[in-house]
Amino acid sequence: MKTLLAGSRYLAVAAYVLFALFPLYWLLKIAITPEKLIYTQGTALWPSSVTLDNFRSVIFASDFLAYFRNSVTVSLVSAALTTVIAAAAGYAFSRFRFKGKSLVVVLLLITQMFPLLMIIAPIYKIVASLGLLNTLTSLIVVYTAFNIPFATFLMQSFFDGIPRDLDEAAMMDGCTRLQAFRKVILPLTLPGLAATLGFIFTAAWSELLFALMLINSNDSMTFPVGLLTFVSKFSVDWGQMMAAGVLALVPSCLFFVFIQRYLVQGLTAGAVKG
């Protein structure tokens, strides 16, 4: 009975994983299907012949590498900026009592209430009057600003999980507040920092709406906008689009491989009684 239960549990998990990963499989499958087979063997699970032509033309014959570089820049800088600011703000919310704290929290929450579509026009106006249209800077600023509230709450919850006693012990041991933060609290928040960094990175990496509105020139296009260039007036180049999609997954995967060891680390174990 017990093994049956465990077995069915695994079966359920396997079914879920299959379900979740199937679109990715399809992405890969179409990317390696020769163009002339895409429509003829549309629903076959594996094409009768495979090719890397799509990858070749995406890498060498399109602007994909430039989009890619732009996306990496925007995502990394946004993620880093957001995480730094959110870490500082989250620490303040977690540890300090100050005037207007609840007001700031409410304001942060309010920013999360509006659908992006509502504010995209004013944002466009602001960015245009700042002369930042068609620049990566505009995207970095917008992504950072939009992600700070959520990232701040996320970081605050991580700081809340670290006992205050540790800050105080460090300060008794001769640290300034900042030293206590840097030497004791921050190393313990690495999982939180990694989670925040990863979250913002993927959010920025796949963002389309703002990138589409604020960027027109080919030079500053990020990858999601660049993908749309595979859609021409009369046809969609599915093979190349999917190949680009597969390539776009690579940095996200690498990034998560890099941070996952922090994500799973339970560093605070043993800090206080246990």
Partner 1 sequence: MARIDIDSLYKRFGAETVINDVNLSFEEGDFIVLVGPSGCGKSTLLRMIAGLESISAGEIRMDGKRMNELPPRDRDIAMVFQSYALYPHMDVARNMGFSMEIQGRPEEEKRSKIEQAAEVLGLNRLLQRLPRALSGGQRQRVAMGRAIVRDPSAFLFDEPLSNLDAALRVEMRLEIARLHQQLGTTMVYVTHDQVEALTLADRIVVLDGGVVQQVGTPMELYESPANLFVARFIGSPTMNLMDIKVLAQPLGEQAFLSEASQLGIRPEHLTPVDAGEGHLQGRVEVVERLGADSFIYAQVPGAGRLLCRSKGNTSLKPGVPLGLHLDLPHLHGFDEQGQSLRHA
Question: Under the criterion CB under 8 A, does residue 261 sit at the interface with partner 1?
Answer: no
Bridge partners, residue 193, by sequence = none
In this structure, is the dihedral angle defined by the CA atoms of residues 174, 162, 178 and 92, taken in order, positive or negative? negative
Question: Under the criterion CB under 8 A, does residue 48 sit at the interface with partner 1?
Answer: no
> Nearest approach, Cβ of 179 to partner 1 (angstroms)?
7
Considering the complex, state which of residue 77 and residue 184 has its C-beta at the smaller distance from partner 1: 184
Question: Under the criterion CB under 8 A, does residue 262 sit at the interface with partner 1?
Answer: no
> Nearest approach, Cβ of 89 to partner 1 (angstroms)?
23
> Nearest approach, Cβ of 264 to partner 1 (angstroms)?
15
Considering the complex, state which of residue 38 and residue 166 has its C-beta at the smaller distance from partner 1: 166
> Nearest approach, Cβ of 101 to partner 1 (angstroms)?
15
> Nearest approach, Cβ of 169 to partner 1 (angstroms)?
4
Which string of x and - marks every residue 138-177 that binds partner 1 (by CB under 8 A)? Answer: -------------------------x-xx-xxxxxxxxx-
Question: Under the criterion CB under 8 A, does residue 270 sit at the interface with partner 1?
Answer: yes
Cβ burial 82-110 (10 Å sphere, 16+ → b, else e): bbebbbebbbebbbeeeeeeeeeeeebee
Considering the complex, state which of residue 104 and residue 267 has its C-beta at the smaller distance from partner 1: 267
> Nearest approach, Cβ of 98 to partner 1 (angstroms)?
13
State phi, psi for 236 to the nearest 5 degrees.
Answer: -115, 130
Which string of x and - marks every residue 25-44 that binds partner 1 (by CB under 8 A)? Answer: --------------------
**DSSP line for 19-38:** HHHHHHHHHHHHHTS-GGGT
State phi, psi for 231 to the nearest 5 degrees.
Answer: -95, 110
Look at residue 16 and give its three-state secondary structure: helix
Q: Residues touching partner 1: how many (CB under 8 A)?
A: 25
**Interface residues for partner 1 in 174-233 (CB under 8 A)?**
174-176, 179, 183-184, 187-188
> Nearest approach, Cβ of 192 to partner 1 (angstroms)?
14
- What's the rounded Cα separation, in Å, for the pair 26 and 73? 28
Q: Which two tokens stand for residue 264?
A: 């799973």
Element (H, E) at 58: helix 53-61
239 contacts 149 by C-beta, under 8 angstroms: no
Question: Under the criterion CB under 8 A, does residue 272 sit at the interface with partner 1?
Answer: yes
Q: Which long-range contacts (CB under 8 A, 24 or more apart) does 265-270 make?
A: 265/190, 265/191, 266/191, 267/187, 267/188, 267/190, 267/191, 268/161, 268/162, 268/188
Residues that bind partner 1 (CB under 8 A): 163, 165-166, 168-176, 179, 183-184, 187-188, 267-274
